[in-house]
Amino acid sequence: MTTTFPELNPPVRVLMGPGPSDTHPRVLQALAKGTVGHLDPYYLETMNGLQEMLRQVYRTKNPMTMAISGTGSAGMEAVVDNLIEPGDKMIVCVNGVFGGRMVDVAQRAGAEVTKIERPWGEVFTVDDLKPVLESVRPKVVGIVMAETSTGAWQPIEEISKLVHSYNALLAVDAVTALGGIPLEVDAWNIDAIYSGTQKCLSCPPGLSPVSFSPAAMEKVMSRKTKVQSWYLDVSMLANYWGQNRVYHHTGPINMTYALYEALRLVLEEGLEKCHARHALNHKALRAGLEAIGIKYSTQEGHILPQLNAVLIPEGIDDAKVRGDLLNRFGIEIGAGLGAYKGKVWRIGLMGYGSRPANVLLILSALEQLLA
């Protein structure tokens, strides 16, 4: 028998958009290792190692630290669905697409949502939040640390202190943050956090690392209503990822290998060195972009090193440049989303992709295309 469907032969790309970013070759090798059963002692050991490494990367001692089967949005739903019971009040900070998505997820979970907004590219201050906390008195506050749609780097520590002074729980989106910028789950008292594998962890999309503080778990375990999602119910997942290892769903074995290897890479390099590398390559990119007249669209002082959101120069055809980058140079960069459509390019320097060769490649390609 033959088939007319061709063998897979994906083009070689340099992924310099908002994610997925380039997968590290060692992670690709890990994906290709032999699949074992999801309750095989070897797999259980691998899960233990993965959880311990995740705690180190998240800088937490939270026992309930694990990888949700699904992409970053599954992590968002896991955090919101578990913390929210119908009728609970939640404040969500919205300054881009992903804060907006959190509002939708929270409303679907039955939260009474109050949205606070800042213009795209800007971040929230304690002063923005305080009066709203005072009047709403929410159970949970949600905020995005690295807003991938705008390149804005949201400081978390002071906001967390404020949120806790009102006895609310803080939920943080760290999909683009984890591995790219300093993040301290315990020291900043973050109650629930989620990330994705496909940004600064140099891994393909497919898992969402999450962590729940003891205070968050107390809220989950004292719920009066069932979590709306069976698949993402953390009280049941706790039996699989906790001591008991009771079957819940079939773990995505090879993606677990991939994330395991990706975390080993981060820890081998050292977290601080990994953040410093992201900062250095960003600085080089920024200097080069500014030399050819390209400016950032993000609030000064809050620019993410791993996601460079820049204004498309006047008179330049957005789609043509991105098409030429892809077709002539093999480089993918991101278009603007929502309010930034046609106005902004998003250039990622994430994980394995954050390296000098990529900085030089995108700068020389843009110089040629914009000349």
Please give the residue ranges that form the binding site for ligand PLP (CB under 6 A): 18-19, 71-73, 76, 98, 144, 148, 173, 175-176, 196, 205
Tell the smallest beta-carbon distance from residue 26 to ligand PLP (Å). 21
Closer residue to ligand PLP in complex, CB, 136/303:
303
In the complex, residue closest to ligand PLP by CB: 72
Single-letter amino acid, residue 303: I
Closer residue to ligand PLP in complex, CB, 195/358:
195
Closer residue to ligand PLP in complex, CB, 122/363:
122
Tell the smallest beta-carbon distance from residue 9 to ligand PLP (Å). 25
Tokens representing 223 are 């719920």
End-to-end CA separation in angstroms for the chain: 53
- Cβ-contact 124, 118 below 8 angstroms: yes
Tell the smallest beta-carbon distance from residue 138 to ligand PLP (Å). 20
Q: Residue 352: which of 306, 303, 297 has the closest Cα?
A: 306
**Cα-based distances in Å from 39 to 43, 54, 66, 308:** 6, 20, 16, 42
Tell the smallest beta-carbon distance from residue 144 to ligand PLP (Å). 5
Closer residue to ligand PLP in complex, CB, 51/197:
197
Tell the smallest beta-carbon distance from residue 56 to ligand PLP (Å). 22
14-15 and 331-332 beta bridge pairing: parallel
Preceding amide of 119 cis, omega within 30: no
Closer residue to ligand PLP in complex, CB, 193/227:
193
Sign of CA dihedral 159, 161, 166, 168: positive
Tell the smallest beta-carbon distance from residue 40 to ligand PLP (Å). 27
Tell the smallest beta-carbon distance from residue 146 to ligand PLP (Å). 6
The single residue listed with the structure tokens 């990119």 is: 285
Tokens representing 69 are 């089967």
Tell the smallest beta-carbon distance from residue 149 to ligand PLP (Å). 7
Tokens representing 76 are 């968002």
Q: Residue 209 forms beta bridges with which residues?
A: 67
Tell the smallest beta-carbon distance from residue 147 to ligand PLP (Å). 6
Closer residue to ligand PLP in complex, CB, 77/233:
77
* Per-residue burial over 228-264, b = 16 or more CB atoms within 10 Å of its CB, e = otherwise: bbebbbbeebbebbeeebeebeebbbebbbbbbbbbb
Closer residue to ligand PLP in complex, CB, 197/358:
197
Q: Kindly state the DSSP code that residue 10 receives in the 8-state scheme.
A: P
Closer residue to ligand PLP in complex, CB, 136/203:
203
Rg (CA), the chain: 21
Closer residue to ligand PLP in complex, CB, 96/138:
96
DSSP states along 284-302: HHHHHHHHTT--B-SPTT-
